[in-house]
Amino acid sequence: MRYYPHREVNEEGIKTTIAETGEYSSRKRLHICCSHIVPSRTAYQIIFYPMAYQPPVHDVIVVGAGPAGGMTAWKLAERGARVLLVDQKSVVGKPVKCGEGMSGFALESNGLPTSASYIVKPVEGTKIVSPNNNYYFMKEPGYCVDRAALDQWLVEQAVGCGAELKLSTHVKNVKNVKNVKNVKNVKNVKNVGGWRVETSDGIFSSKVVVAADGAWSRIGRMAGLPGNSRMSKGLQYKFDISQCPGELKDREWIRFYFGSAFPEGYAWAFDRDRELSVGVCGQGNMARALKIFCKRIGVDASKRREINAGMIPVGGMNASVSGDAIITVGDAAGLTNPISDGGNHVALYSGRIGAEAIMEYMGGSAGALKDYENTLRSSPFNHPLMQEGARAMHRLGDEAWDFFAGMAYGKTFADVSKREKAGAFIRHPKNLLHLRKAMTISRAARIYRRYGW
Ligand SMILES: Cc1cc2nc3c(=O)[nH]c(=O)nc-3n(C[C@H](O)[C@H](O)[C@H](O)COP(=O)(O)OP(=O)(O)OC[C@H]3O[C@@H](n4cnc5c(N)ncnc54)[C@H](O)[C@@H]3O)c2cc1C
């Protein structure tokens, strides 16, 4: 009996098992790629099919195993869909391209436990630092997470519910072939769309495709959906915290630094117990901005032990995130929080509601994917005030940041009395010019605090 080429075959020839623990490595991938995975109590049972066997058509192929794709695959598989989750990485979640901060609401509202392997530590909220090092606090409980562990946790849930995972597999092209009868090797699929997904490891077919392939998403564009209209750059170094100034150790708050040094963005310093992550995002030369920022906070950039870099969609949700039997989710759909530029929360959210919409669509509701788009469009992440708030933040000059951070120095804005605010303006009346921008930011911050970063 022959088996798929280049696969590992154990002595029994038909079945083998792998340990459930540990991250998905390329070694496990060899097993996972060629097989159907049946979760059991202690191990994933892997069944090898002979060469002549035609793999069943998948209901949904999800391209990208980040938080958006992992969540989509999980929620689809949980409802009984036959899901294939594909990622070009050899290890889920690695390398990380993230500052790894998330609000508690982001996890809880999407049904993720706050006591899992991916939690590094809880934080009270954010400390906002102005150019002259004035600072105030924004209370919004959240977590420093381990993003690779979070992505892996989501994929484990998906696989546990029966999804198939293919790693080290680059999706080269997707084609909506409509009449699936014309597609080689595909049987028993009714005309509910029909995708031919060409990968570096063969061609697969499905009824629906989910583009969860991140900020540069090509999958959506191949299917005729628009890509991201505007991006920021993100760059982060990680340091051993014991080699950093003690002043940067902060058990309760993660720090954000604003001002003209970070055009249309900001810098951050997160104490993650054993490591310190220091990063910048925005427009312009991020490598230079990060070098200067490291100097400002007294960290020796040459001692970094990890570099994480990537693009962040900042142009707002794409004009269209659903098409004929396809949706985009997460960064691929242009979904980030305009105030924080964070995308983990909305990646989880879009994956979750995207999966629900796909199940309805496959159940015969033709408008379900459009409804997904409309739900996202009316979500808080897409509230016009959030974009306005972000623009107002970008236009606030250094002096104004110093003034407002000085007004609430060491407290939250909720702790500043009207009298104190009036006194600050009387002492520095020219800042009245920035009052309108400050009000816009404050209104946007209210939405931000309610729905989490
Ligand atoms: C430096 C930096 C710091 C950040 N910090 C934060 C933060 O602190 N908090 C926060 O909420 N957000 C943060 N973000 C944003 C956050 O990382 C993203 O919004 C989030 O990763 C989006 O998840 P996603 O699943 O949509 O995409 P991704 O996480 O990018 O996942 C996409 C996946 O698709 C795969 N893929 C792509 N193309 C293909 C293909 N053709 N074939 C197969 N696989 C493919 C990729 O390998 C990848 O695994 C940060 C971003 C950057 C760059």
Quick check: CB of 227 below 6 Å from ligand 1? no
State how beta strands 195-199 and 322-323 pair.
unpaired
Quick check: CB of 334 below 6 Å from ligand 1? no
Quick check: CB of 233 below 6 Å from ligand 1? no
Quick check: CB of 64 below 6 Å from ligand 1? yes
Cα–Cα distance for residue pair 314/336, rounded to 1 Å: 7
Task: Please count the other Cβ atoms lying within 10 Å of the Cβ belonging to residue 62.
Answer: 35
Quick check: CB of 213 below 6 Å from ligand 1? yes
Q: What angle do CA 264, 270, 274 make, to 5 degrees?
A: 155
pLDDT at 181: 47
Please state the atom number of ligand 1 nearest to the C-alpha of residue 333. Answer: 26
Given a contact cutoff of 8 angstroms between Cβ atoms, the answer to whether 180 and 191 are in contact is yes
Quick check: CB of 142 below 6 Å from ligand 1? no
pLDDT at 404: 97
Quick check: CB of 170 below 6 Å from ligand 1? yes
Please state the atom number of ligand 1 nearest to the C-alpha of residue 311. Answer: 53
Residue among 97, 204, 349 whose CB has most ligand 1 atoms within 8 A, to mutate: 97
Cα–Cα distance for residue pair 379/361, rounded to 1 Å: 21
Given a contact cutoff of 8 angstroms between Cβ atoms, the answer to whether 340 and 142 are in contact is no
Residue among 86, 87, 232 whose CB has most ligand 1 atoms within 8 A, to mutate: 87
Per-residue pLDDT tens listing for the chain (453 residues):
222 222 233 333 322 222 222 333 333 333 333 333 434 333 444 444 444 334 447 999 999 999 999 999 999 999 999 999 999 999 999 999 999 999 999 999 999 999 999 999 999 999 999 999 999 999 999 999 999 999 999 999 999 999 999 999 999 999 988 654 444 443 444 444 589 999 999 999 999 999 999 999 999 999 999 999 999 999 999 999 999 999 999 989 999 999 999 999 999 999 999 999 999 999 999 999 999 999 999 999 999 999 999 999 999 999 999 999 999 999 999 999 999 999 999 999 999 999 999 999 999 999 999 999 999 999 999 999 999 999 999 999 999 999 999 999 999 999 999 999 999 999 999 999 999 999 999 999 888 887 878
pLDDT at 193: 54
Block residue for tokens 């989509």:
72
pLDDT at 177: 82
Helix, strand or coil for residue 214?
Answer: coil
Range list for CATH 3.30.9.10 in the chain: 101-141+230-313
Q: Give the closest residue to 265 by CA, choosing from 214, 226, 314.
A: 314
Quick check: CB of 220 below 6 Å from ligand 1? no
Given a contact cutoff of 8 angstroms between Cβ atoms, the answer to whether 238 and 305 are in contact is yes
**DSSP at 412:** B
> Model pTM?
0.86
Would you tell me which CATH number, out of the four given (3.40.640.10, 3.30.300.30, 3.30.9.10, 3.10.580.10), belongs to the domain 101-141+230-313?
3.30.9.10
What is the distance in A from the centroid of ligand 1 to the CA of 252? 26
DSSP code string of 274-306: TEEEEEEEESS-HHHHHHHHHHHTT--GGG--E
pLDDT at 178: 67
* Protein residue with least CA distance to atom 37, ligand 1: 213
* Protein residue with least CA distance to atom 29, ligand 1: 66
Residue among 98, 173, 353, 381 whose CB has most ligand 1 atoms within 8 A, to mutate: 98
pLDDT at 106: 96
What is the distance in A from the centroid of ligand 1 to the CA of 347? 9
Tokens of 279: 């990063």
Cα–Cα distance for residue pair 98/81, rounded to 1 Å: 30
| Signed CA dihedral, 165, 166, 171, 176: sign only | negative
What is the distance in A from the centroid of ligand 1 to the CA of 374? 23
Tokens of 224: 């005729």
Block residue for tokens 């623990």:
21
Cα–Cα distance for residue pair 161/79, rounded to 1 Å: 9
Given a contact cutoff of 8 angstroms between Cβ atoms, the answer to whether 362 and 340 are in contact is no
Cα–Cα distance for residue pair 80/59, rounded to 1 Å: 10
pLDDT at 451: 83
Residue among 146, 290, 344, 345 whose CB has most ligand 1 atoms within 8 A, to mutate: 344
What is the distance in A from the centroid of ligand 1 to the CA of 195? 24
Q: Give the closest residue to 129 by CA, choosing from 277, 248, 263, 256.
A: 256
Given a contact cutoff of 8 angstroms between Cβ atoms, the answer to whether 70 and 155 are in contact is yes
130: left (phi over 0), alpha (psi -120 to 50) or beta: beta
Residue among 29, 62, 71, 88 whose CB has most ligand 1 atoms within 8 A, to mutate: 88
DSSP code string of 336-363: --TTT---HHHHHHHHHHHHHHHHHHHT
Task: Please count the other Cβ atoms lying within 10 Å of the Cβ belonging to residue 94.
Answer: 15
Q: Give the closest residue to 447 by CA, choosing from 352, 345, 354.
A: 345
The helix, strand and coil proportions of the chain, stated in percent and rounded to the nearest 5, come to 35, 25, 40
Helix, strand or coil for residue 414?
Answer: helix
pLDDT at 446: 87
pLDDT at 449: 80
Q: Give the closest residue to 74 by CA, choosing from 334, 333, 277, 354.
A: 354
Quick check: CB of 86 below 6 Å from ligand 1? yes
